[in-house]
Amino acid sequence: MPKDARMRLRIIVLLVLLFGALFIGRLYNLQIVHSSEFVEEAKKQYIATVPNIYNRGTIYFKEKDGKLTTAATVNEGYVISINPTVLPDDKEKVYLALSSVIPIDRETFMEKAGKTDDTYEEIATRIPEDKTILIKDLDIPGLQAFREAWRYYPGGSLAAHVLGFVGYKDNILTGRYGLESYYNDTLFRKGQNLYVNFFAELFTNLSETVFDRSTEDEGNLVLTIEPTVQGYLEKEIQGVMEKWNSDQTGGVIMDPKTGAIYAMAVSPAFDLNEYGKVKDQGYYANPVVQDVREMGSIVKPLTMAAGLDAGVVTAGTTYNDTGSVTLNGRTFSNYDGRGRGPGTPMQRVLNDSLNTGAAFVVSKLGNERFADYMENKFHLGDETGIDLPGERQGLMSNMDSTRDIEYATASFGQGFAVTPINMSAALATLANGGMTVTPHVADEIRYESGRVKKVTQNPQEQVLKKESADEITRMLVTVVDKALLGGTVAIPEYSIAAKTGTAQLARPRELGGGYYDDRYLHTFFGYFPAYDPKFIIFMYTYQPKNGATFASHTLTMPFIRLTKFLLNYYHIPPDRDLDAAKAVTLLR
């Protein structure tokens, strides 16, 4: 074959292959990527629809085995309407025919059917397809069915404060609160014209065959939230509310090594499918990321960890506990007003939750170094970077004071305020070998184009020496084994690190300032198995009543039940051998 003929043949083959590749790529784009849109077009051929029917990306929970469960989706149904100007004269007959298929109020129907100067009146919404077909088969003049779609949350109130909802803003349906708001640009779907002939579409805009930029930013969310864990946390949270008649209760379950949140719950909650029925719209906000509170004695492990890390104390360091301390003309005391006397060790400061002992650590650290640990290493007062809207920074102005009293009271969680998620992240540092984590609820985005993007987090930062984190963990395990409710809740086969907190609520300045004697915020945190933790739990309950004074009474048992559930549900093997387990049992 002549050389020029072979060249022409190669060019022809190349062009055929190129055209074939473009054809297949476009076919894939239309039949796979946009298949759902053409299904929509097919549906329109039977029953009328509105142009650009509402659509939005899906949000998924992720079960422990990786299976996805729908958390937020779009449901479809039909609007049934009448045109009173052409409706048959016998309105009673029409009503009886319709009411045999769907429940409708007779008085309302008759009122709408009587508007003979009106051409459109809705009589029913969100009617399923099977019922709509029966209505169409009635073949009544003036009776119409239009397809509609709406946001639907299969779990109802499950993870309500995390998910948020879709509502109107300036006549546009958009994400309001929660993930629906934070990831609105990803979940939002632009209107598309589906009335395009298949083959006309196939050979149009070939330049977009390989790169379909219309779907580049549109996707679905896969969360770190595990629905069974979420449901169990919500049950425990609700139990605290009912038993102690609290104003509010919340909790977080997180992987302390990655910041992945398995569950986040707040009570009172609300049904996402009926959010409009909530009387107080303040319930929509997520207090775990938006409310700042004085956290009380769960700050003591951070104070002790700072002292250990700086080398100014050890677990065996002792001080003279007189029961109270006076600084700058102000006196603070231990929770019971008693002193433990000379030779009180740091371990007992955590066991007995001694305010004077925490202040002793600060006196050894110095105010400036203590403030540096709290603000610049544990990042108290900062936003965590969690992917939820409205996160607030803490109130840390007392760390700028020149008065010793401000730092002493801060050592046991008084005088500064942070969000629950900020506190959870700071405490996770102790569980994570002294390294920071970024709390997050989204795991990945699955774009319409087929691309999958893992949601990246801030780089972890080593803020404590690993030895310091290990030592504070050992001390917190001792708290559970020996001190928490007298050591009666320790689980012999597992090491659990935990600490309670009871903070008096601040009295408003207009009421005289200071603190209430009978109003508290109770907090509790713990992680386990302590030396290779898979979970950290943070819980709080605001203004518990019914005689509740200390967090050890209100939150210990919910924490223990959650711990046992998680160990069982995830099949976590024991981390203590038989001898260690027997030793813990003997401590009781």
Residue 173 banded pLDDT, cuts 50, 70, 90? confident
* Domain annotation covers residue 65: no
Q: What is the rounded average pLDDT of the residues 117-142?
A: 93
Query: Nearest 5°: CA angle at 156, between 151 and 162?
Result: 80
* Domain annotation covers residue 160: no
Q: Is the pLDDT of residue 199 over 50?
A: no
3-state secondary structure 398-467: HHHCCCHHHHHHHCCCCCCEECHHHHHHHHHHHHCCCECCCCECEEEEEECCCCEEECCCCCCCECCCHH
Mean pLDDT of the chain: 89
Structure token digits, residue 148: 């509609």
What is the span of the domain harbouring residue 460?
227-587
Residue 511 banded pLDDT, cuts 50, 70, 90? confident
SS3 99: helix
Residue 166: left (phi > 0), alpha (psi -120 to 50), or beta?
beta
* Domain annotation covers residue 284: yes
Helix (H) or strand (E) holding 174: strand 172-176
Q: Which residues contact 528 (CB under 8 A, 6 or more apart)?
A: 494, 495, 496, 497, 534, 535, 563, 567
pLDDT given for residue 513 in this prediction: 81
Is beta strand 452-454 parallel, antiparallel or unpaired with respect to 442-447?
Answer: antiparallel
Residue 45 banded pLDDT, cuts 50, 70, 90? very low
pLDDT given for residue 230 in this prediction: 98
* Domain annotation covers residue 542: yes
Least confident interval from 203-217, 396-410, 464-478: 203-217
Helix (H) or strand (E) holding 69: strand 68-82
Residue 555 banded pLDDT, cuts 50, 70, 90? very high
Structure token digits, residue 352: 């007995």
Q: Is the pLDDT of residue 27 over 80?
A: no
Q: Is the pLDDT of residue 217 over 60?
A: yes
* Domain annotation covers residue 175: no
Residue 211 banded pLDDT, cuts 50, 70, 90? very low
pLDDT given for residue 448 in this prediction: 86
Q: Which residues contact 243 (CB under 8 A, 6 or more apart)?
A: 546, 554
Q: Is the pLDDT of residue 241 over 90?
A: yes
In terms of Cα–Cα distance, which of 97, 110, 139, 146 is closest to 125? 146
pLDDT given for residue 207 in this prediction: 42
- How many residues does the structure list for the chain? 588
For the chain, the domain total comes to: 1
pLDDT given for residue 510 in this prediction: 84
Query: Nearest 5°: CA angle at 114, between 109 and 120?
Result: 75
pLDDT given for residue 549 in this prediction: 86
Residue 41 banded pLDDT, cuts 50, 70, 90? very low
Q: What is the rounded average pLDDT of the residues 127-140?
A: 93
pLDDT given for residue 583 in this prediction: 66
* Domain annotation covers residue 74: no
Helix (H) or strand (E) holding 478: helix 466-478
Q: Is the pLDDT of residue 193 over 60?
A: no
Which of the two residues, 213 and 490, has the higher pLDDT score?
Answer: 490
Q: What is the CB-side half-sphere exposure of residue 511 using CA atoms within 13 A? A: 7
pLDDT given for residue 1 in this prediction: 56
pLDDT given for residue 201 in this prediction: 39
pLDDT given for residue 16 in this prediction: 63
**What tens digit of pLDDT does each residue of 348-363 get?**
999 999 999 999 999 9
Residue 25 banded pLDDT, cuts 50, 70, 90? low
The whole-angstrom separation of Cα 136 and Cα 46 is 10
The whole-angstrom separation of Cα 448 and Cα 56 is 11
pLDDT given for residue 26 in this prediction: 55
Please name the residue ranges forming H helices in 76-225.
91-99, 106-113, 129-137, 160-163, 178-182, 184-187, 198-202
- Looking up residue 320, the CATH number of its domain turns out to be 3.40.710.10
Is beta strand 68-82 parallel, antiparallel or unpaired with respect to 121-127?
Answer: antiparallel
**What tens digit of pLDDT does each residue of 253-262 get?**
999 999 999 9
Q: What is the rounded average pLDDT of the residues 395-399?
A: 95
Q: Is the pLDDT of residue 542 over 50?
A: yes
pLDDT given for residue 108 in this prediction: 94
* Domain annotation covers residue 555: yes
Least confident interval from 11-15, 141-145, 172-176: 11-15
* Domain annotation covers residue 268: yes
Least confident interval from 177-191, 235-249, 286-300, 459-473: 177-191
**What tens digit of pLDDT does each residue of 175-185 get?**
999 999 999 99
Q: Is the pLDDT of residue 485 over 50?
A: yes
The whole-angstrom separation of Cα 534 and Cα 29 is 41
Structure token digits, residue 522: 């109770």
Say if residues 289 and 421 touch (Cβ distance below 8 Å): yes
Residue 195 banded pLDDT, cuts 50, 70, 90? very low
Q: What is the rounded average pLDDT of the residues 200-223?
A: 59
The whole-angstrom separation of Cα 201 and Cα 198 is 5
